[in-house]
A and B are shown apart, each in its own frame.
Chain A
Amino acid sequence: MEKPIIFIKDTSLTGDSSREIQTQLLKVAREKGIEDLQVIRVADLGIYDKGVALKICSLDIIYVNVKLSDAEKIIQTTIKEGTPIEDLLLENQAMQTRIVLRNCGIVDPESIDDYISRSGYASVGKCLFDMTPETVIEEMKKSGLRGRGGAGFPTWMKWNLARGSFGDEKYVICNADEGDPGAYMDRSVLEGDPHSVIEGMIIAGYAIGASKGFAYIRAEYPLAIERVQKAIDQAYEKGLLGKDILGSKFSFDLEIRLGAGAFVCGEETALIASIEGKRGTPKPRPPYPSDRGLWDKPTIINNVETLANIAVIFQKGAEWFATIGTDKSKGTKVFAVTGKVKNSGLVEIAMGTPLRDIVFQISGGCFVPENKMIAVQTGGPSGGVIPEKNFDTPVSYEHLIELGSIMGSGGMIVMDEDDCLVDISKFYLKFCVDESCGKCAPCRIGGYQMLAILEKITAGKGTLEDITSIKRIAQGMQKASLCALGQTAPNPVMSTLRYFESEYLDHIEKKKCRAGKCTKLLKFTIVPEKCKKCRLCVTNCPVNAISGDREKGYTIDQEKCIKCGRCFDVCKFEAIARA
C-alpha cells in the first residue's frame, strides 16, 4: 500500500495555524499506531479563503475549514478506515477544465511520440479514412466551436464557406500573432503542445480542400517558433505532413511565416497582405478571405486556440464537446489572468463559469488581500471593463457583449482600488493609436483626437464638454473605421465611461485621481508637524527636488518634482502628503 500522505495549507488570509494541526495529526496518528503518515505543508492547494485545508492524497479528496479538534476523527475515519467525512468535504469549488491545455505541462513539446501516445494524430486518421470533408464540417457544426481569436465566428461556417468557394489551391492559416497586451495563451499552447495546432490545421485543410498551410507567428516568440518548427519537421519525418498523409490520398504542407509584431497584422486581411510580402494593412471586406484570401485563393484563418480544440472534438465526439459550456458558447476558454491578482497564470474554464470564480476561487483574489477589487478588463484594447458588481456574470460570448466588453482572445487584467480606470483606458487607447496603420481617417485622426482629450482630462484640464466629444468621436470611429482595430479602439473608454463615469468627473471637476495614478494631478508636500527631519526623503529623491536643513525643515520644489512618489513610499512617519 502507498504511504498515507496529507497535504496541509492554511488558506485563510490571516495567520497560519497549519503547523498546530500538522503536529496534532501526526500525534494522533502515532497514538493509533500509524507510523508512516506524512503531513506535508504545501505552498498552494488552489483553494483560497477556506480556513485550513487538507488534501488526503490516497483518496484524492479535500477537506476545508479543518479545526484542531477534527484531527482525531480524520485519522480514525479517513486515514484508518478510508471513509470521507462529509461535513469537511470541499464543495462547489470552481475548477479548471482542460481541453486546449490538455497536454501542456504533461508532454515533452519536442517529442512527437509523447503527443502521439496521448491519442495525437488519431483524429487526422479518423477524418482522412472514416469521414468525408462534408461530414467533418458537419461534426464541427455539431460541436458548436466558435473562433477563439476574438470575434467568435462559428468555425464550421468559416470552413464551409471556404469549402464552397472555387479555387485550384486553398490555404489554411494559423493566426499566432497574439498582440493583445497581457495575453499569452497562444504562446503557451505553441510552446507546450505544438502538435495539437498542427493536427487542427491538417484537419482544417482536409475539410476545405487545402493542401497548404501557414503558421503566422510573431517574431517576438522565438521559443514558440523553434518548437513549432521542430514539430513540423518531426511530422514530416513521420509522414504526418507532406504527401499522402498516413498513407491516404490527402497531402498537406505546412510552413512558418514570421510576423514583425505589428498589432494590426493580427487582423485577417492585413495578415494575408503580410504573408504575401506586402505592407500589413487591412483591406475592405468583402471579398472575405474564404472567397478570395491569400494570393486571391480561398483561405481560412483560425486562431491557435481554435485549432488546438479540433483534434479533441474528433477524438471524443462533437456531442461530448457540446455538453461543455453554455447554450451558445461551447467548450472552454483559456484566459491569461494578470494584474492585481494573487496567482497570475493561465486558466482554462468551461464557458459559463462566473467571472467571480475565476478571479477569486481559481486565481486566489486580490494580490494585496486588504484591497478591494474593482473591475476586470477582458478583450484587451478591443474590449472593456466589467465592474465588480457584475462579477457573477457567466463568461460567454453573449454575456460579455451584453456588459459592453468582449471575450476577446483571452487577456484578463484584474484591477483593484489602486488602479485608475481613466488611466487604464488611456493606456489601451494609446496602444491602438500607436498600432493604427493609418490607412483610414476615422481611426488615424479619431484615435489621436480622443487620446488628446484623455491626456487633457488626466492632466486636470478637462471640461464636461470633453465627455460629449469623446462619445461623438467614438461613434465616428465605430461606424466608419475600415477594420476592427479602429472600430473597437473606443471600447475601453466607452465601457469605463459606462460604469465609472464618476471617476472621469472626479478628474474633470475635482481635479482628483482617486488612485493617485494620474501624476499630473498629484502634489507631494511635507507636513512639518509630522516630519522628524530624518532626511530619508532627501537622499531618496532621484531629482534632488527636496531641500532644507534640520533647523528650518524641508520642502519639495514643485518645479523639479517628477511625482514619482519615492518620498511618499520611503517616509516612515507619514510626513509626506499626497493630494
Chain B
Amino acid sequence: MVQLTRDDLKKVQPKIKAGQQYVKVGMSTCGIAAGAQEVFELFTKEIKQHDLNVVVTKTGCLGMCHAEPLVEVSVEGLPSVIYGRVNGEVAHRIIEEHVCGKRLVNDHIFDLPIRR
C-alpha cells in the first residue's frame, strides 16, 4: 500500500499520456452484449501483429447504446473519432485504413454534440 497525499494526486498520470495514439473500446454491459469483447481482443491482436505504437484500452459506456460496440480511435494527424457498430470486419478496416493508412472509415463514424 502507498499512502497518497493531497499533493501526490496532482502528479498522477493517466494511462494514456498526451500524444499517445490509442484505441478505446466501450466495454460496459451494453457494449459487451453487442460483441465488444471480441472487438477488443481483435484490436489487441492486430496491433501487436502490425507492431503499431497504439494503446488499446477499455472504457465505459458513451451513451450511444444503439450503436454499440463503440470504439474511439485517436492517431497522429487525424482528429479522434468514434466508430459505432464495430464488428470484426470493421475493426480490421479501422486498423488498415485509419491507423495505418490515415484515412477515416466511411459509414461507421458516430458523432454527437455534447457539452462537457
Chain A residues at the B interface, C-beta cutoff of 8 Å: 2-3, 5, 7, 38, 40-47, 55, 57, 62, 93, 95-98, 101-111, 113-114, 116-118, 120-122, 125, 129, 184, 187-188, 191-193, 221, 223-224, 236-240, 244, 246-247, 342-348
Distance between Cα atoms of A484 and B10 in the complex (Å) = 44
18 A-B contacts (beta carbon < 8 Å): A3-B102, A7-B109, A38-B104, A96-B114, A105-B24, A105-B63, A106-B59, A106-B60, A108-B15, A108-B57, A113-B14, A113-B15, A193-B60, A224-B29, A237-B1, A345-B64, A345-B65, A345-B67
> What residues of A have a CB within 8 angstroms of the CB of B102 in the complex?
3
Give the complex CA separation of A107 and B64 in angstroms: 16
CB closest chain-A residue, reference B68: A345
B72 x A239 contact (CB < 8 A): no
Decide if A93 touches B66 in the complex (CB within 8 Å): no
Q: B109 to A98, Cβ gap below 8 A?
A: no
CA distance A116 to B14 in the complex (A): 8
> Nearest Cβ distance between residue A557 and chain B, in whole angstroms?
40
Give the distance to chain B from A269, nearest Cβ to Cβ, in Å: 29
Q: Which residues of B contact A104 (CB under 8 A)?
A: 28, 59-63
B19 in the interface (beta carbon within 8 A): no
| Contact with B116, one of A98, A239, A343 (Cβ below 8 angstroms) | A98
Q: Which of A121, A184, A188, A348 contacts B60 (CB 8 A)?
A: A188
Q: Are B9 and A121 in contact (CB under 8 A)?
A: yes
The answer on a CB contact under 8 Å between B28 and A191 is yes
A-B CB proximity, top 8 nearest: A192-B60, A46-B112, A105-B62, A239-B3, A42-B109, A117-B14, A346-B63, A345-B65
Chain B, 12-38, CB within 8 A of any chain A CB: 12-16, 24, 26, 28-30, 32
Q: Is the CB of A348 within 8 A of B63?
A: yes
Chain B's closest residue to A108 (CB) is: B57
Nearest residue, chain A, Cβ from B114: A96
Interface residues of B in 60-99 (CB under 8 A from A): 60-67, 70, 72, 77-79, 84-85
Asked if A47 and B61 make an inter-chain contact with CB atoms under 8 angstroms apart, the answer reads no
A110 to chain B, nearest CB (A): 7
Verify B112–A62 contact, CB threshold 8 A.
no
Residues of chain A within 8 A (CB-CB) of B15 are: 108, 111, 113-114
Please indicate the chain B residues that have their CB under 8 angstroms from the CB of A116 in the complex: 9, 12
CB-nearest residue of chain A to B105 = A40
* Of A5, A98, A347, the contact of B104 (CB 8 Å cutoff): A5
Q: Does B51 contact A (CB under 8 A)?
A: no
> Using Cβ atoms and an 8 Å threshold, which residues of chain A touch B50?
none
A114 B9 Cβ-Cβ under 8 A: no
Contacts of B107 in A (CB 8 A): 41-43
Given known A96-B112, A113-B13, A191-B28, contact A129–B6 (CB-CB < 8 A):
yes
Say yes or no for B103: interface residue by CB 8 A criterion. Answer: yes
Beta-carbon contact of B63 and A101 below 8 Å:
yes
Q: Hey, which chain A residues are within 8 Å of B12, CB to CB?
A: 113, 116-117
Q: How far is the CB of B53 from chain A (nearest CB, A)?
A: 18
Task: Specify which of B1, B2, B60, B106 lies most central, judged by the most chain A CB atoms within 10 Å of its CB.
Answer: B60
Main SS of chain B's interface residues? Answer: loop
Q: Tell whether, in the assembled complex, residue A40 and residue B63 are in contact, meaning their CB atoms are under 8 Å apart.
A: no
Judging by beta carbons under 8 Å apart, are B59 and A95 in contact? Answer: no
Q: Is the CB of A223 within 8 A of B29?
A: yes
Bound: A329/B113 CA distance, A: 23
A104 and B70 CA atoms in complex are apart in Å by: 12
Q: Is the CB of A3 within 8 A of B4?
A: no
Contact assessment for A103 and B60 in the assembled complex, using a CB-CB cutoff below 8 Å: yes
Tell me whether A188 and B111 are in contact (CB under 8 A): no
Considering the complex, give the chain B residue whose CB is closest to the CB of A242. Answer: B1
Q: Are B1 and A223 closer than 8 Å at their CB atoms?
A: no
Closest to B112 in A: A46
Closest chain A residue to B3, Cβ basis: A239
User: What would 18 more interface pairs be, CB under 8 Å, given A95-B114, A106-B60?
Assistant: A2-B78, A44-B67, A45-B112, A46-B113, A105-B26, A105-B61, A105-B63, A108-B59, A129-B6, A188-B63, A191-B61, A238-B3, A239-B1, A239-B4, A246-B9, A247-B6, A345-B67, A348-B63
From A38, A42, A96, A122, contact of B115 by CB (8 A): A96
Q: Which of B10, B72, B106, B107 has the most CB of A within 10 A?
A: B106
Assembly CA distance A239 to B12 (angstroms): 14
Flag if B28 contacts A223 (CB, 8 Å).
Answer: yes
- How distant is the Cα of A40 from the Cα of B78 in the complex, in angstroms? 12
* A43 adjacent to B63 (CB under 8 Å): no
Contact of B111 among A44, A108, A223 (CB under 8 A): A44
Query: Which of B2, B32, B59 has a CB less than 8 Å from the CB of A105?
Result: B59
Tell me, rounded to whole Å, the shortest Cβ–Cβ distance linking A405 to chain B: 23
Which among A193, A342, A346 has the highest number of chain B CB atoms within 10 Å?
A346
Shortest Cβ distance from B61 into A: residue: A188
**Whole-angstrom distance between the alpha carbons of A2 and B24 in the complex?**
22
| Cα of A192 to Cα of B78 in the assembled complex, Å | 26
Q: Contacts A43-B108, A238-B4, A345-B66; is A98 near B114 (CB within 8 Å)? A: yes
Q: Are B13 and A3 in contact, CB atoms less than 8 angstroms apart?
A: no
Task: Name the B residues within 8 Å of A97 (CB-CB).
Answer: 114-116
Query: Does B49 lie at the interface of the complex (its beta carbon under 8 Å from any beta carbon of A)?
Result: no
User: Shortest distance in angstroms between B97's beta carbon and chain A's nearest beta carbon?
Assistant: 11
Q: Contact check: which of B32, B60, B84 meets A43 at CB < 8 Å? A: B84
